[in-house]
Structure 1
Amino acid sequence: MAPKVSLVVSDLSEGGSVRAFLLAQVLQKLDYQVEIVGFLFGQDLYVIPPSGIPVISVTGKNYPNFFGSARKLLQKLDGDIIYAVKPKPASFGLSLIKKMSNNRPLLLDMDDWELSWHGGFDWKYRPTPIQLYRDICKKNGALRFPNHPLYVSWLENLVKKADAITIDTQFLQDRFGGVYVPNGKDTIMFDPSLYDPEVSRKRYGLSEYRILMFPGAPRPHKGVEDVLIALDLLNQPDLRLVLVGSNPYDDYDDKLIEKWGRWIIKLPKKPVAIMPEVVSAAHVLVVPQRDTIIAQAQFPLKLTDGMAMAKPVLSTRVGDIPEILGDTGYLVDPGCPEQIAEQIQLIFEDLEAANKRGQRARDRCIKYYSVDAMACTLSQIIAEIKV
């Protein structure tokens, strides 16, 4: 029987589960048994998992009740190989316990820098004695949250305890080492020849518009505001920005719609298997990352959505994005709506040429950023740790 890999996710109701499901697909391609095991601190899964990937969830609770939740999760964690997603206490911390208690090989995946969400290099936890007491003892005290950045900072000092580390950006490799395993795409599922863009646009009520698409949940560092400002500058009534899914963290989506609702069409989140059809409806994929420490540490999954579907991809010169796109995309400086407006105008003036560039992007995606490319690297990593 094929070995079983347990992927451990700190919170299935947050965005970190996206990378976990991608890794699960790759491992299945390598003929491993796969399961996703994780806590659910929110009400629902952040993404709808691909079919055939079992998901085992345990209700997440704050300290001290977290210890009971952790015990339940450890009992369910029975893979021959443990693969922690993110260096958080609720994933990597428990995985270290399993490694030490059961002598299981342990991999750690890092797809962004967790402390970047809290100020990055400037983050420090230096409470007054009164604040420390409140953080520990009050019912909703900050240190009762299992994945508080203080605990994450401690675990970052233990990443070398993993038998292997996988990362997806140069930033993370420079900081933590590890083997580069970029976010790939199932280019067989994401195959533009299987879809008619006009039919897709009709299905989602987009036929009368020229569609810019951001197929994910907007957050401030993702630069969606810059695209909306660009649409204000262009002021062309048949342009629309389509957002797919919603932000589970706050009301940022609502604020965007309140200010720029005339340009926005919002679609609900879709299962992975439906996303190729949704992306096929776009004329242009936009990934307008801003130059923040958060964005520098990330490999935007949306890039490979557009590349795999042979769409013109408009993005920014941030982090690894220029290297990922090569000469197959349209790049502007971060935080420059005027340049975004110029590129949108350029793309639609010669959409045929833009689509040819999109086809080159698909070719590049297949070669460097496909599930097959990920599988090749991951198989070598696992072979080395299974001594």
Structure 2
Amino acid sequence: FGLGLLRRLKTRKPPAPGTSDDWELSWCGGDDWRYAPSPKQLYRDLFKPNGQLKEPDHPLYTKWLENWVSKADGLTVDTSFLQNRFGGVYVANGKDTELFSPEGYDAEVSRSRLGLSNYRVLMFPGAPRPHKGLEDVLEALEILQESDLRVVIIGGSPYDDYDDRLMKRYGKWLIKIPRQPVEKMPEMVMAAHVVVVPQRDSLTATAQFPLKLSDGMAMGKPIISTRVGDIPSILGESGYLVDPGSPQQIAEKIREIFGDWPEAEARGRMGRDRCVEHYGLTAMGKGLSEVLNNTLGAACN
């Protein structure tokens, strides 16, 4: 975005469109973050080989760039939080629902290939982070104590050793599958009985569109998630919602799902239909077309 603005200033030729799919400042405290170094620390940050201000994604630069978002010729956002903060046209961070489609896959076969045939699989198809609430699902399994339940994560955390810490504490309930290329992910998600997206009530989670929601919806899976940010409006009536940070409620939803599996499958199909209609590539294209048409139209006037 910053380079696009510089090019526009240099050439006087728009467009300089921008996209916001996350609130970067949320990772360091949001609007409460302050950079107030001592003179010695400022010198280190500026001139030492590993000085923090040599990092292009330092929060100070992010905060400065936020003041320039309004200068973009067009802006897309993927959550109501970001839209309220920056404006722009809403374009869901959706899914290729032709690639991610249950057609052509068999759940039992997928589970067998992954060595999961003996388990009821609660899948989180991504990298666990503290704000994603995976510990709450694992605590729910501690409450239930049903030996065939497993939480399956795919890929692990590329950022730190968080998934290793989860494995050390909850290894009884947790299975980790190596990271997969995107074209293999539909088969991976098909192996799930339930997809879990238990976001916690944090700035980071509120500002995000959880891609794991659209993974599960596109593959027609029942989904347990939380009342955080846009999640309730994304799922509509297709999901099983709980309060954030509530292992007890998650345990109750797990019982409810497996106690009435035909209803859970029906909700999964409803989620698939909803994903195709609202979060597929066609729906995303409409929003992008609006931004590009407005931007290019303004450039021609």
SS at match of 1:175: helix
| Conserved 8 A contact 2:152-2:177 | yes
1:223 is aligned to: 133
2:250 is aligned to: 340
Q: What are the within-5 Å matches in structure 2 for residues 344-363 of structure 1?
A: 344-363=254-273
Q: Following TM superposition, by how much is the alpha carbon of 1:95 offset from its aligned partner in structure 2, in angstroms? A: 2.3
Per-residue displacement from partner, 1:212-234 (whole Å, max 9, x unpaired)?
Answer: 00000000000001011111111
RMSD over equivalenced CA pairs, Å: 1.0
1:15 is aligned to: none
SS at match of 1:286: strand
Q: Following TM superposition, by how much is the alpha carbon of 1:136 offset from its aligned partner in structure 2, in angstroms? A: 1.2
Match of 1:184 among 63, 74, 94: 94
2:227 is aligned to: 317
- Write the distance in 1 (CA, Å) between the matches of 2:96 and 2:39: 51
1:81 is aligned to: none
1:279 is aligned to: 189
- Write the distance in 2 (CA, Å) between the matches of 1:104 and 1:288: 41
1:100 is aligned to: 9
1:291 is aligned to: 201
Q: Following TM superposition, by how much is the alpha carbon of 1:309 offset from its aligned partner in structure 2, in angstroms? A: 0.8
Per-residue displacement from partner, 1:320-347 (whole Å, max 9, x unpaired)?
Answer: 0000001110000000001001101110
Instruction: Give the TM-score of the pair, scaled to structure 1.
Output: 0.75
1:327 aligns with 2:221: no
Q: Which amino acid aligns with 1:127?
A: P
| Conserved 8 A contact 2:45-2:51 | yes
Q: What are the within-5 Å matches in structure 2 for residues 39-78 of structure 1?
A: none
| Unaligned 5+ runs, structure 1 | 1-91
Identity %: 61
2:113 is aligned to: 203
Match of 1:163 among 43, 64, 73: 73
| Unaligned 5+ runs, structure 2 | none
Q: Which has the bigger relative contact order, CA under 8 A and spacing at least 6?
A: 2
Q: Which amino acid aligns with 1:167?
A: V
Per-residue displacement from partner, 1:219-274 (whole Å, max 9, x unpaired)?
Answer: 00000010111111111111111101121111111100110111111111111111
Q: What are the within-5 Å matches in structure 2 for residues 71-150 of structure 1?
A: 92-102=1-11, 103-150=13-60
SS at match of 2:103: helix
| Conserved 8 A contact 2:14-2:73 | no
